[in-house]
Amino acid sequence: MRNSFKKVYLLISVLMVVMLAACSEDVTNATSEKSGGPVSAKIGVISYMTGPGAAYGEAITNGFNLALDEINEKGDVKIELIIEDSAGKQDQALTVAQKLMSSDDIVALLGPTLSTEMNVVGPEADINGIPIMGTSTTAAGIPQIGEYVFRNSIPESLAIPAALEKAVNKYGAKKVAILYGNDDLFTQSGFDTMKAEAEKMGLEILTIETFQKGQSDYNAQLTKIKDLQPDLILASALYNEGAVIMDQARKMGIDLPFVGGNGYNSPQVIEIAGEASEGLIVATPWFGEKDDPKVQDFVKKYETEYGHKPDQFAAQAYDALYIMAEGLKNAGVADRDALRDALAEIKDLDGILGKFSFDEDGDVIMEPTVLIIKDGTFQLFE
């Protein structure tokens, strides 16, 4: 009896070792390829590829790969990407980042996906003197981690005021009600920005209501807001809750426009709330319907390659690799310090998100586009 158990355990452990070996194989396969002429460099990518947020990582790596093919085809620089999975976890992000940093021929890092991951990976990269650029990290304070830390995703502190200002001017709003999710760091920081901005603009805040993730009944909060008769509703919510809030609000007879943050900005809102989503105003770096050949070209290519329309994360990743390529081209050599200096100098680079520059911290200078949901699609808000 005992013996047969032992045999089973042995079999299992052998199987596990074999599986482990199989896993490591494709990671170490990348060999360096030196060629004369254009600068050739390796860039490490840390992305959220498995777990509940895997959709983000997928969009981001798709964006990178699309840009990679184009850049290498053009031939000004030659880039090779080495993609690692962070699984959305801080410790795993740090481990793979250290692995990438320790390889001398990797000149820069792209990612990680989440701001919380960047908070541990960023300082490490800064100490090691390797440029790192987040393409989806929107929390406050990321580029201030160090001089090697950059990002090309517009922070909430840029997006929300842009949307709010336009909405207030258009509707002549004086009184607002704020609604936010108080159990999520992202929606909470969005709320802080909203409140500060509303106070700065001299708006009267009638009430501040909260809700929790996954809540299904918002009628109590909305009835209260309806009774106070604001001119505008500011909602810092993720699209899942946000869409349901709008649905219940419209049913109740609240026809006011909503101003939301980055998390609210998703085509999913239209899908979930349908007609009720009309009147949602968000500011975004990415507008896929923009009348710009560059943008339309990217959308078309992405759709043929991956079978669906690109989102903000794919677009930001796509532009990020172009920024890296520009930096490499200007630096002239595949060197970490030279690349950092070249990146910091980038000004008015034309991308699919618009004209892009870094400020002195390595943060984004960019004019976000303000959109409104009208007739079932996101349209420019004038």
Partner 1 sequence: MLLEQIINGITLGSIYAIVALGFTLVFGVLGIINMAHGEIFMIGAFIGVLITSVLGLPLWIAFIAAIGVTVILGYMLERIALRPLRGKQGVSHLAPLISTIGVSILLENLSHHIFGAGNHPFRHSFAQIQFQIGSITVYLVQILIFVISITLMVVLSYWLSKTKAGKALRATAENLETASLLGVNTKRTITTTVILASALGGIAGILVGMAFNSVNPQMGLSMGLKGLAIIILGGMGNVKGAMAGGLLLGLAETMIVAYGDSGYRDAVAFITIIFILLLRPQGIFGKNTAEAGR
> 56, 148, 150, 211: which one contacts partner 1 (CB under 8 A)?
211
Could you tell me the two tokens for 247? 């649905």
Q: How far is the CB of 207 from partner 1 (least distance, A)?
A: 9
| Minimum distance, C-beta of residue 254 to partner 1, in the bound complex (Å) | 11
Q: How far is the CB of 307 from partner 1 (least distance, A)?
A: 17
| Structure token pair of residue 112 | 């990680």
Beta carbon of residue 139, minimum distance to partner 1 (angstroms, whole number) = 22
209 sits near partner 1 (criterion: CB under 8 A):
yes
The H-assigned helical ranges of the chain are 2-25, 54-74, 90-101, 115-128, 156-171, 185-200, 219-228, 239-252, 267-273, 293-306, 312-331, 336-344
Nearer to partner 1, 201 or 272 (CB): 272
Interaction residues for partner 1, span 132-191 (CB under 8 A) = 182
Q: And the tokens for 202?
A: 């001299």
Task: Copy the structure tokens of residue 349.
Answer: 């680079």
Nearer to partner 1, 156 or 247 (CB): 247
Q: What is the DSSP string of 124-169?
A: HHHHHT--EEESS--STTSGGG-TTEEE-SPPHHHHHHHHHHHHHH
Please select the residue that binds partner 1; options are 272, 301, 306, 349, rule is CB under 8 A: 272
Residue among 215, 47, 24, 17 nearest 136 (CA)? 47
Under the binding rule (CB under 8 A), the answer on residue 50 touching partner 1 is: no
Under rule CB under 8 A, residue 206 binds partner 1: no
Contact window for partner 1 (CB under 8 A) among 67-75, 94-102, 249-257, 366-374: 249-257
Q: Which of 13, 144, 223, 357 binds partner 1 (CB under 8 A)?
A: 223
* Residue 255 makes contact with partner 1 by CB under 8 A: no
Neighbours of 1 (CB within 10 A): 4
State the minimum distance, in angstroms, from the CB of residue 334 to partner 1: 40
Binding residues with partner 1: total (CB under 8 A): 33
Which residue, 207 or 296, is less far from partner 1 as judged by CB? 207
By three-state DSSP, how is residue 255 classified? coil
The label of the residue with tokens 């909602």 reads 235
Q: Does 376 bind partner 1 (CB under 8 A)?
A: no
Minimal distance, residue 216 CB to partner 1, in Å: 4
- Candidates 212, 229, 377, 379; binder of partner 1 (CB under 8 A) is 212
In this structure, which amino acid lies at residue 295?
V
Q: Quote the least distance from Cβ 208 to partner 1, whole Å.
A: 8
If the CB atoms of residues 243 and 339 are measured against partner 1, the closer one turns out to be: 243
SS3 284: strand
| CA nearest neighbour of 324 among 83, 144, 64, 139 | 64
Q: How far apart are CA 173 and CA 191, in angstroms?
A: 18
- Contact at 8 Å (CB) between 56 and 308? no
Q: Please identify which residue in 221, 262, 312, 369 interacts with partner 1, judged by CB under 8 A.
A: 221
Stretch that binds partner 1, among 101-109, 156-164, 210-218, 364-372 (CB under 8 A): 210-218
Is there binding between residue 219 and partner 1 (CB under 8 A)?
yes
Question: Considering the rule CB under 8 A, would residue 268 count as an interface residue with partner 1?
Answer: yes
d(CA 253, CA 251): 5
Residue 69: CB minimum distance to partner 1, A:
30
Q: Residue 329 burial by CB count (10 A; 0-12/13-18/19+): exposed, middle or buried?
A: middle
Site residues (vs partner 1, CB under 8 A):
52, 182, 209-221, 223-224, 227, 239-241, 243-244, 247-248, 251-253, 268, 271-274
